[in-house]
């Protein structure tokens, strides 16, 4: 796994994962919303297919921007760090999908197949290679963990809200 592969696989993996989520979203969102605490459910409100589609597109296009930046500026540590932060986020997302599948749905959850079959092995491979070959400083690598946490839940809520605003629903 080279840096170049890590940079260009990211948007492909995210596109595949987000396609799986989008394909199964319509039948699962009512079940997700029903399990949220009433205050949060009321704040989020109903989520339309259009809003979710825009949010998933944003969750694909934004990291693609990081990959384009990292490819155009191979010496940019910031661009490479953002790409690796997204890989770390994908790794955290695996745990999220497994927990959702087991706890919320007692089986399948949208995105769990690509999370386990694609995101898990590739994230581990990329992050291990980045550490072994020291693509970033130790300090920058340690910062990937809090970045993944920040990108995952607040980032997901952010793209959902932006998806709502851009889709004309917000």
Secondary structure string (H, E, C) spanning the chain: CCHHHHHHHHHHHHHHHHHHHHHHHHHHHHHHHHHCCHHHHHHHCCCCHHHHHHHHHHHHHHHHHHHHHHHHCCCCHHHHHHHHHHHHHHHHHHHHHHHHHHHHCCCCCCCHHHHHHHHHHHHHHHHHHHHHCCCCCHHHHHCHHHHHHHHHHHHHHHHHHHHHHHCCCC
Q: pLDDT per position in the chain (170 positions), as tens? A: 799 999 999 999 999 999 999 998 878 877 777 777 787 767 666 777 788 888 899 999 999 999 999 999 999 999 999 999 999 999 999 999 999 899 888 889 899 999 999 999 999 999 999 999 999 999 999 999 999 999 988 888 788 788 778 887 65
Only one residue has tokens 């963990």, namely 145
pLDDT of residue 103: 87
Which residues neighbour 8 within 8 Å (Cβ) at sequence distance 6 or greater? 67, 71
Instruction: Give the pLDDT confidence score for residue 169 in this predicted structure.
Output: 63
Q: In whole angstroms, give the CA distance from residue 79 to residue 7.
A: 10
Per-residue pLDDT reduced to its tens digit, 111-138? 999 999 999 999 999 999 999 999 999 9
Backbone angles phi, psi at 12, to 5 degrees: -70, -45
Task: Please give the pLDDT value at position 44.
Answer: 66
In the chain, the number of structural domains is 1
**How many CB atoms sit inside 10 A of residue 149's CB?**
14
Structure tokens at 149: 């946490």
Domain that holds residue 147: 3-166
Handedness of CA 30, 34, 36, 42 (dihedral sign): positive
The pLDDT value given to residue 170: 56
Supply 120's token pair: 């898990």
């Amino acid at each position: 796994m080279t840096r170049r592969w890590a940079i260009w696989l990211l948007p492909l993996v995210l596109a595949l994962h987000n396609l799986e989520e989008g394909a199964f979203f319509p039948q699962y969102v009512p079940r997700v919303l029903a399990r949220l605490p009433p205050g949060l459910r009321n704040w989020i409100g109903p989520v339309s297919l259009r809003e979710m589609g825009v949010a998933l597109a944003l969750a694909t296009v934004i990291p693609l921007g990081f990959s384009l930046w990292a490819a155009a500026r191979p010496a940019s540590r910031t661009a490479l760090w953002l790409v690796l932060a997204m890989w770390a986020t994908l790794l955290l997302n695996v745990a999220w999908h497994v927990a959702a599948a087991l706890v919320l749905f007692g089986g399948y959850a949208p995105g769990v197949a690509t999370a386990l079959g694609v995101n898990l092995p590739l994230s581990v491979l990329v992050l291990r290679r980045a550490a072994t070959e020291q693509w970033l400083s130790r300090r920058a690598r340690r910062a990937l963990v809090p970045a993944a946490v920040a990108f995952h839940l607040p980032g997901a809520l952010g793209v959902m809200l932006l998806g709502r605003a851009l889709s004309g629903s917000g």
